[in-house]
Amino acid sequence: MSRFKLTIEYEGTRYSGWQIQKGGKSIQGEILDACRDLFEGAEIDFFGAGRTDSGVHALGQVAHLGVETELLPLKIKYGINDRLPADISVINVEEAHPKFHARYDAHARSYIYQISRRRTAFGKKYVWWIKDQLSLDNMNETVKLFRGLKDFRSFTDEEAEQSSTKTEVFHSAIYDYGDLLLFHVVGNHFLWKQVRRMTGVLVEAGRGNLKPADVEGFFRQKSEIPAKLTAPPSGLFLEKVYYRNEELVYTSKPVIRF
């Protein structure tokens, strides 16, 4: 069985998330259906680097595809894309090591969250519009507190799959594009809803309702406050999944997406 590494982008508004689940349309399910049609009865192994929640987007989700085929990577890319809806696109297919695993071989991930400071006619599906005035000074002071190896138990829900709530954040920053603020974060992995709750805490700090000491307290003991501040999925993008020998990129401003 050959193994391929797929890089995928998608607009997640219409989907219940990446992972296949009963009663919902998923990104993984759409791609798997396309593969089954393309490879006609062949045994298929298809697994993503991580799940994204309902309504969350991806610029560079990664999955591995295992299948017995003579098709070249470019033909596989075209064949899958021809069978996918317009809001999902395979942007690259390459041959991978037979033991490559999209999830377990990943050593870092990066996310972008877009916060709009004005009402937008075009970008509603890709931003969180905040009507209140936001203090960039407060947000910049708060975003520094996320960096390092910390216990993010206040930023996730109890879940059996999470053996540990510790995450190492290599980089976290706010970028000011005028009407648009981008929260960029890079870490070894992220817990369920972690980035959306980090964003909610940043916005509340920007409103002046949370002080740095309050945020520091979330790391000392479990708090329910970040859960109440969870940002909507619309502004969140999985930017990139990093693998062995790939340099972490966070020295330049991320790209505006609307």
Predicted local distance difference test score (pLDDT) of residue 233: 96
* One domain, residues 128 and 211: yes
* One domain, residues 223 and 120: yes
pLDDT more than 90, % of the chain? 86
* One domain, residues 68 and 168: no
Neighbours of 107 (CB within 10 A): 14
Q: Which of 45, 70, 95 is the last residue of a domain?
A: 95
What residues contact 141, with CB distance under 8 A and at least 6 apart?
205, 212
Go through 116-146 and write b for each residue having 16 or more CB atoms within 10 A of its CB, e for each that does not: bbeeeeebebbbbbbeeebeeebbeebbebb
* One domain, residues 55 and 79: yes
pLDDT digits (tens, 9 = 90+) for 37-69: 999 989 999 999 998 999 999 999 999 999 999
- Band (pLDDT 50/70/90 cuts) for residue 258 is low
The structural domain count of the chain equals: 2
pLDDT more than 70, % of the chain? 95
Q: Annotated active-site positions, please?
A: 53
Domain of residue 54 covers 2-95
* One domain, residues 186 and 112: yes
CATH number of the domain to which 194 belongs: 3.30.70.660
Predicted local distance difference test score (pLDDT) of residue 256: 63
Decide if 14 is inside a domain: yes
Tokens of 143: 């975003």
Predicted local distance difference test score (pLDDT) of residue 164: 87
* One domain, residues 64 and 113: no
Predicted local distance difference test score (pLDDT) of residue 109: 96
CATH number of the domain to which 83 belongs: 3.30.70.580
pLDDT digits (tens, 9 = 90+) for 120-143: 988 889 999 999 999 999 999 999
pLDDT digits (tens, 9 = 90+) for 8-21: 999 999 999 999 98
Decide if 101 is inside a domain: no
Sign of the C-alpha dihedral computed for residues 75, 77, 79 and 82 taken in this order: negative
* One domain, residues 78 and 130: no
* One domain, residues 232 and 114: yes
* One domain, residues 115 and 229: yes
Sign of the C-alpha dihedral computed for residues 234, 108, 17 and 33 taken in this order: positive
Decide if 258 is inside a domain: no
| Ordered DSSP codes for 40-74 | TT--EEEEES---BTT-EEEEEEEEEEE-----HH
Asked whether residue 160 carries a pLDDT value surpassing 70, the answer given is no
Neighbours of 230 (CB within 10 A): 16
* One domain, residues 63 and 181: no
* One domain, residues 70 and 39: yes
* One domain, residues 134 and 229: yes
Q: Which of 70, 95, 120 is the last residue of a domain?
A: 95
